[in-house]
Structure 1
Amino acid sequence: MCNVINPILRALYGLFTKATPLSLSAYKVTIKEDCTPFILSNEQLGTIMDDMDKAIKNGLGKETNPSSIVKCFVTYIQDLPNGTERGKFLALDLGGTNFRILFIELGENEYFHMDSEIFKVPSHIQTGKGTELFDHIAKCLAEFVKKHNLDNKKALPLGFTFSFPLRQIGLTKGYLESWTKGFNCSGVVNEDVVKLLKDAIKRRNDIEIDVCGILNDTTGTIMSCAWKNPNTKIGLIVGTGCNACYVEKVENAELFIGDKSKPHVIVNTEWGAFGDDGIIDSIRTIYDRKLDENSLNPGHQRFEKMISGMYMGEIVRMVIVDLTNQKKLFDGRLSEQMKTPGTFDTSFVSDIESDETNYKETLKVLNEMGIVKPSFVDCANVQFICECVSKRSAHLVSAGLATLLNKMSEKTVTIGVDGSVYRFHPYFHKIMVEKIKQLVNPEIKFDLMLSEDGSGRGAALVAAVAIRDEQYNRQPLDS
């Protein structure tokens, strides 16, 4: 009984003293020692940075790339927006069961107009023939063009965001490495997806579309932010997945076979796979190992699994279950829902950490998870677990960004950022800024800029830059 009365008395006392009665500091967190494996020192992060720097250099090298875990795909995008882009463009954003088609118009004085529509990829098409997938996309493109009364007397330029592992050998030529996210269309792996799209459009013969560039969402993030801030040289996604791209010197990108008269090219690191060779095993917890073993791709994307929104909530759930089984939470009582993998959404982590004084959101989440009448100490403990897991995520991302900043060695860099974790977690941005400052070379200045629809607007801007320069290759290099 005392365990219930004491928090209530403290809360009442706090009300009269105008304190914050139910804040995290008001109740003793009793599971701090259990969460220490999630707390990484700057020395540990420094080791991660050294290892990542080596992995990126291996990914860039012609001889070392085949065995490199971090692949560093060359995007063949060499020019960033400078604000002079004008015209009407289409964008196609394919990265999951739904895809978007966008119409974007750019004009004077940063004029921007956008219309967009979401289309579904039926389940039978996701696992059917590749020609059926691209015929479906072409059909939706034709419907969109006609619905929005777009002038189709001349070919509409289109930027294509394709958020699956892609090996590019040109701005408009990219080969699918492997399907993910539930897709398994036959006849697409190791094929040029731009050609497959063009062939599908040609089969219809009712619309004129010119695919000017293919990209992934990190590249789109750079392009979207660079349109407003030309100093943007890194793109980061922290959402369902986690990845980064950056502006690299052409001479360092040994696999690049494009225009070497231009000094730079954007490189897509695909750093989510960092650690798949075991190099980060020393910082992986028992929960990380269990999550990986039970995932759809065990042994792969280990760095991403310690960071991204697809996994963060599940890690928190596993910690809660483990500590409850040790009778350190909820008097050892677990709900069936909390026992069930995948039920603790990462959005719950943001909700819980947004609590400041009354645990209202924490209680709401725990009740939704079937935990009835948790004590305020339980709430403080759960909030601390969420804080440790999300802070580790932010610190690992910060180590990756500091690695890129130090490698680029530019005096000032803007980092374009997108993704649900970064957008909606109440403290992720602040934690990242503080940690990057501690890890990066002191002479380097940086800032973080939230991207506005990188996968949509960014794709259109790839097309806009290609049209602006009138230098993109309509017949890319043959493999």
Structure 2
Amino acid sequence: MLLEKKKQKFDEITKDFLIDTDGLRKIMVLLEQAFDKGLAMETASSASVLMLPTYVQSIPDGTEQGEFLALDLGGTNFRIFFVKIINREMKVKSTTCCVPNDVMKATGEELFDYIAKCIAEFMKEHGLTKSKSLPLGFTFSFACKQDGLASARLIAWTKGFKASGVENEDVAELLRSACQRRGDINVDVVAVLNDTTATLMASAFERNSCQIAVIVGTGTNACYMEKLEKCGKLRKGIDFEEGTFDEMCINTEWGSFGDHGELDWLRTDFDQQVDEATINPGHQLFLKMTSGMYLGETVRAVLERLTREGVLFGGQTEGISKHGLFLTKYISEIESEFIENDGTFPKTLQILKVMGVEEVSQLDCIRVATICTLISTRAAHLIAAATATIIKRMGKPFVSIGVDGSVYRFHPTFSRLLDEKISELIDKNLKYELLLSIDGSGRGAALVAAVAMRMNKKFHC
């Protein structure tokens, strides 16, 4: 009888993580409405989903040729690439540089001088002379207001960066000025983009049918090629040249979906608990339900509640009550072990022991794995609904989707769950495929530069 009561309590506490198909279709309707608000001139400034123009108006078409540099700055390590494109073949040389902590917190001029120094050393190492100007694509994975393809103003630093004099400034211009101050390198910054757009471009180079990119890692985001006629906030002759292309890549920033209450009907007490403990409560609510930064903490919150209710670990909460102790990678490790289960759970026991949980039964291990599965499955289904919304919105008979991110790559069932649920949610006349994108941030930046040069020659020669 006690066992049955514990099962009932377990089911009662975890049931709200299950979303049926009708719930997912409701999300699709709400998200499309949020997309429309983000794209309309009248409502863009107050929309929860920003729908940011990237000024990328074309994917690679196979005619791109030449040599390009790419810079990928999104954290304490940044990468420099030299990319040579000949007849749809791409040859890449790259290096990784570390931004010292004092440089991250110095002046903007010092930060970009350091980046320019690393570029100069890379070019010298690979025999790239000053005599030839190289187009450079700059993947800058911080929140920016894009003023054009080659202009982006930093809204706010994150990820430990605090370099002064950069916020509200054009990061492309800061990079250009730093390179010019050196005098020994010759680069032309022709494009600034984020990692999601770069993923789309890298995937489109491999498969021309790719017009959507999705990231599910520490964070989550998506971009896609949208018809200009649906982008009411874009102005002819200012944001795009009339008569050139009829599409533009839109960076959705869908992580903020729900910030205006769209997901209140779906969020659990545990989502509320996780949100309240963050530095930005009430913001990025869709991201907090789907991304690697928060999935582990959501699992921990559920484990703590079940333990307090006497369902797990003999009611001993000491090892499970510390915020941030349950890492998202544990979800993948525990679920992988559960899938391959032979009746023992050595990895799960090891993880719980590291956390300080000592009294663990076999049934506890099964229930921990079940909680991990519930929360990761919900994340996959939410991402599937959001992706299906874009596929439906585009209405193309076939589209490829470039996908990247640690959750998508390393979780044992995420990719399958995503694929199966998208297929269930879209009309049967719409076909798609998911493509794993490898190293999209660097290659994609070079490809945006290549496309920019191709378009410039086409329309301004």
TM-score, with length taken from structure 2? 0.93
2:322 matches 1:340 = yes
Q: How far off its partner does 1:40 sit?
A: 0.9
Gaps of 5+ in 2: none
Paired residues, number: 447
Deviations 1:111-152 (CA, angstroms, capped at 9, x unpaired)? 332222222222233233222221121111111111222233
Partners of 2:80 and 2:256 in 1: CA distance: 29
Q: Report if the CA contact (8 A) 1:406-1:440 is conserved.
A: yes
Percent of aligned pairs with the same residue?
A: 47
Q: 2:215 aligns with which of 237, 255, 261?
A: 237
User: Which residue identity does 1:303 align to in structure 2?
Assistant: F
Over 3 Å counting, the alpha-carbon distance change for 1:156 and 1:472 in structure 2 is farther
* Structure 2 partner of 1:289: 272
2:204 matches 1:221 = no
* Structure 1 partner of 2:34: 55
* Structure 2 partner of 1:319: 302
DSSP 3-state at the match of 2:168: coil
* Structure 1 partner of 2:184: 206
* Residues 399-408 or 83-92, more deviating: 83-92
* Structure 2 partner of 1:458: 444
* Structure 2 partner of 1:78: 57
Partners of 1:30 and 1:380 in 2: CA distance: 15
Partners of 2:448 and 2:130 in 1: CA distance: 20
Q: How far off its partner does 1:76 sit?
A: 0.6
Deviations 1:143-184 (CA, angstroms, capped at 9, x unpaired)? 111122223321111110011112212110112222222223
Partners of 2:48 and 2:441 in 1: CA distance: 25
Q: 1:425 aligns with which of 380, 392, 411?
A: 411
* Structure 1 partner of 2:381: 395
User: Which residue identity does 1:121 align to in structure 2?
Assistant: V
Partners of 2:108 and 2:191 in 1: CA distance: 20
* Structure 2 partner of 1:194: 172
Q: Report if the CA contact (8 A) 2:129-2:185 is conserved.
A: no
DSSP 3-state at the match of 2:206: coil
2:283 matches 1:300 = yes
Partners of 1:396 and 1:189 in 2: CA distance: 33
Gaps of 5+ in 1: 4-27, 475-479
Alignment of 1:15-414 (within 5 A): 31-108=10-87, 110-256=88-234, 257-261=239-243, 262-336=245-319, 338-355=320-337, 356-358=340-342, 359-372=345-358, 374-414=360-400
Give runs of ≥4 in structure 1 deviating > 6 Å: none
Q: How far off its partner does 1:29 sit?
A: 9.8
User: Which residue identity does 1:205 align to in structure 2?
Assistant: G
Q: How far off its partner does 1:462 sit?
A: 0.8
Q: Report if the CA contact (8 A) 1:171-1:472 is conserved.
A: no
* Structure 2 partner of 1:10: none
User: Which residue identity does 1:278 align to in structure 2?
Assistant: G
Q: How far off its partner does 1:473 sit?
A: 9.8
* Structure 2 partner of 1:6: none
User: Which residue identity does 1:439 align to in structure 2?
Assistant: L
TM-score, with length taken from structure 1? 0.89
Q: Report if the CA contact (8 A) 1:158-1:460 is conserved.
A: yes
Q: How far off its partner does 1:264 sit?
A: 0.8
Deviations 1:10-67 (CA, angstroms, capped at 9, x unpaired)? xxxxxxxxxxxxxxxxxx8972332111111112112211111111111111111011
Partners of 1:76 and 1:254 in 2: CA distance: 14
Q: 2:421 aligns with which of 435, 441, 458?
A: 435
Deviations 1:261-283 (CA, angstroms, capped at 9, x unpaired)? 21111000001111111221111
Q: Report if the CA contact (8 A) 1:164-1:180 is conserved.
A: yes
Q: Report if the CA contact (8 A) 1:90-1:157 is conserved.
A: yes
Partners of 1:199 and 1:449 in 2: CA distance: 38
DSSP 3-state at the match of 2:265: helix
DSSP 3-state at the match of 1:383: helix
Over 3 Å counting, the alpha-carbon distance change for 1:260 and 1:452 in structure 2 is farther
Over 3 Å counting, the alpha-carbon distance change for 1:254 and 1:177 in structure 2 is farther
Q: Report if the CA contact (8 A) 1:29-1:384 is conserved.
A: no
DSSP 3-state at the match of 2:290: coil
User: Which residue identity does 2:134 align to in structure 1?
Assistant: L
* Residues 367-376 or 89-98, more deviating: 367-376
